[in-house]
Structure 1
Amino acid sequence: MCHFFNGCKRKNREKMKRKKLYIIRHGQTDLNKKGIVQGSGVDSSLNDLGRAQASAFYEKYKDFPFEKVYTSALKRTKETVLHFEEAGFVPQELPGLNEISWGVVEGKSPTPENKARYQALLQAWADGDLSQKYEGGESLQEVVDRQKVAIDHILAQEEECVLVAMHGRAMRILLGWWVNDTLIGMDQFSHSNLSLYEIDWESDKGPKIVRFDDRSHLEHL
């Protein structure tokens, strides 16, 4: 149960209109290190640094009053919260939190051609052409549609303080449509492996970022 602790307040359950969401990106994988695209189609595990990042996050936040832990359906998010699971949490997988599908470039090395295609796609999105996507991949709207299902589920539950493990581009998309009400400019939401966004949500006001891309728990790594 949430109590007064770092902004997580205890409330009458019947009148609960607020939530705290601690949204993290998964720890590093070898493919992250090599710059190889993973997306939702490459289900890689954390590497040694990624596991150390997960341990560092757990040590910093193990006493936070989390009531529920959510992950995507991919191994790298589930491994990121493994210490919480070992401490007694039963994480819930929500496929709506999965990384965007990058289609034909998933698993590919960062060649000059692939980098140029990626930059062209980002520029199209920044210019407002949100329908652009890789062959076999997802559009931004398709990601938003499944994320809305996941977020609606989280907000409908009684827990007031939750940990959510997801992915870099998926985080940018989520913060874009949910917090800013637009996907244009979503790249302002910087991130790195195991960085944290803290979100206050009120049913009558919506979400607000209160901590932006926090990496302080990783300072000793």
Structure 2
Amino acid sequence: MKKDLYIFRHGETDYNLEHRWQGCGLDAVLNENGEEQARKLAEKVLSLGMTVLYCSPLVRAVQTANKIACRSATELPIIILQDLREGDFGEVEGMTFDEVRARFGDTFVENVCWPSFDNWDIHFPGGESKREIFGRVLHCLNRIVCKKDSVIGVVCHAGVLSALKCGLELKKTPNENCSVLHLQYDLETKKFVQIFD
């Protein structure tokens, strides 16, 4: 038996618009464009047949989840899980991308964002590594797929998505606001596989 997981990134915030690092320490709300993105995402995913929506506790994710849940034919239950929160980016939270690159260099920043397994533990001072983010999120997803639901929605963050893509060795694609990553979990092999719709 296989289960479908649709993993959504939240809608845009002003921090996204300003190209700032926004981890779990910055609990920003969706801006007007982010609200519209979430509405469009809700329309787009209507036909997926999700029966539950799991969500990060951060406001931007909860707002996005609410848009999806309210638009479904039967209002989806939203279950908040701490382990779906964005990564902790330590000292760089709130800094612009340019400020972070000037301070740490392009190579270091690239290794934090898209690490290979030999630099999986690199992190900003005071922050989490991709290994740490991946570990808690994978543990969380493994608990989710053990539930009865066969089509599952998850609302989270770019750092979570890139940790999953690195850890599951998926194609490294941009994690735009309200983008969708479709994974299928095989209960027999206990493996996640990316589905390209």
Structure 1 length-normalised TM: 0.78
Within the alignment, does 1:158 sit opposite 2:143 as a pair? no
Distance 2:3 2:63 in 1: 25
Identify if the C-alpha distance between structure 1 residues 130 and 64 changes in structure 2 by more than 3 Å, giving closer, same or farther.
closer
Q: Which runs of 4+ in 1 moved over 4 A?
A: none
Q: CA deviation at 1:118?
A: 6.1
CA drift at 1:98: 1.3
Partner Cα distance (2:105, 2:41) in 1: 31
Alignment of 1:136-215 (within 5 A): 136-177=126-167, 179-180=168-169, 188-205=172-189, 206-211=191-196
How far residue 190 of structure 1 moved from its aligned partner, in angstroms, is 2.2
Deviations 1:192-221 (A, max 9, x none): 111111112112232211127xxxxxxxxx
Q: Distance in 1 between matches of 2:135 and 2:63?
A: 26
1:19 is the counterpart of 2:7: no
Partner of 1:37: 21
Q: 2:76 aligns with which of 78, 89, 102?
A: 89
Q: TM-score, normalised by structure 2?
A: 0.87
Q: 1:48 to 1:19 in 2, by over 3 A?
A: same
Alignment CA distance shift 1:118-1:161 (3 Å)? farther
117-126 or 63-72, which moves further after superposition?
117-126
What letter is aligned with 1:107?
Answer: G
Q: For residue 94 of structure 1, report the CA deviation from its aligned partner.
A: 1.3
Aligned to 2:87: 100
Identical-residue share of aligned pairs (%):
24
> Which of 101, 104, 111 is the equivalent residue of 1:115?
101
Pairing 1:40-55 to 2, within 5 Å after superposition? 40-55=24-39
Gaps (5+ residues) in structure 1?
1-16, 181-185, 213-221
Change (3 A) 1:127 1:161: closer
Q: CA deviation at 1:187?
A: 7.3
* SS of aligned partner of 1:81: helix
**Does structure 2 retain, via aligned residues, the 8 Å contact 1:121–1:132?**
no
Q: Which amino acid aligns with 1:162?
A: I
| Change in 2 beyond 3 A, CA 1:60/1:127 | closer
Rg: which structure is higher?
Answer: 1
Q: 1:7-48: per-residue Cα shift (whole Å, max 9, x none)?
A: xxxxxxxxxx31011111111111000011111110001111
Q: What amino acid does structure 2 have at the position aligned with 1:86?
A: C
CA RMSD of aligned residues (A): 2.0
1:189 positional shift: 2.9
What amino acid does structure 2 have at the position aligned with 1:106?
Answer: E
- In the alignment, the residues of structure 1 paired with residue 184 and residue 91 of structure 2 have an alpha-carbon distance, to the nearest angstrom, of 37
Q: How big is the shift at 1:149?
A: 2.4
